[in-house]
Amino acid sequence: MRTITLRPELEFKYHLKLALACQITSAVRTVTPWTTGQGGAISDLLEKTLPADLWVFKEMAAVTGRQEDFHAAKHLSCVLREDLEPRARMNNETLVVAAALMERHPEDGKTYPERLFNLDTVEKRKKWFRTYLNALFRAMLHPLVHHGIALEAHAQNTVVRLCTATGRIKGFAIRDFGGVHFHKPTLREQGFPLDWEIPGSLTLNDDLTSVWNLASHTLLQCHAPSLLYGLRLETHGGWAVVKEELESVLEGFGGDVARGLLEYFCEGTMVMKSFPRMLMEGMYRENIELRVPNPLVLLSP
């Protein structure tokens, strides 16, 4: 709702992300100076570390308010973000914001994947859901396992790359780097420069579990369940599919980190943000977290 694209005939190669003082969940959706100041360096780092089937909407330039108080400056910000549509067209692909896949058509209440890919039975919906999750987990968990990078891969930031001829999922693209978490010790050990961090930023983190929590929140509490419920698979073994594909991908990566991550994701309880309490407390950079039963354990065999 605050990222705009200009008319195609203008041949402008970028999208504009604007500060918009609109309350969504626990935050007013502005763009902080931390985001504008670090976006270019984060884009470069992600381009070096993400797998080939996960494209980056690089942040090419940004402006923000000159106020020393970042809470005031964040209201006057803009990010110039790379437009990946031309690259997709060259690959015979189309880009779809993942959140659109969960929307229901007003005529019949079916999601758009059901209508576009003829998913007219439970088994067809489960098969497509499984294919989607496998591709999603392979793309988004690769940087977490290999580099300690947790992308904010909820459905609004994730863009699906579909083949225009077959509808097959070719990969994904990721945007919006203000909430990405990096495990500082891992990246330092791998030789990546981290001198771009702005004081007060929450991007670099020494606690690996905190980084894992972001991946749990965006992938396993937001992205996967939204599609699961959109496809009406909550009573048809949908959570078992999530767990099976999570196990398949992480076991395929191999190594101690992947094994530890799988064990953490499959604990009996999981850390969840309490958005109503955060909203009432006026919090947006800090979290109020609760431990709740883990549906991967409760709702899958």
Instruction: Give the pLDDT confidence of 207-251 residue by residue, as tens digits.
Output: 999 999 999 999 999 999 999 999 999 999 999 999 999 999 999
Q: Write out the DSSP string of 167-189.
A: --EEEEEE---TT-EEEHHHHHH
Size (the chain), residues? 301
For 3-298, CATH gives 1.10.510.40
What distances in angstroms separate CA 19 from CA 16, 74, 257, one per listed residue?
10, 7, 37
Q: In this predicted model, what pLDDT tens digit does every residue of 19-35 receive, in sequence order?
A: 887 877 667 788 889 99
Q: Tell me, what's the pLDDT at 248?
A: 98
Token couple for 111? 């999601």
Task: Please report where in the chains the tokens 């793309």 appear, as a residue.
Answer: 139
- What pTM was computed for the model? 0.93
The domain locations on the chain are 3-298
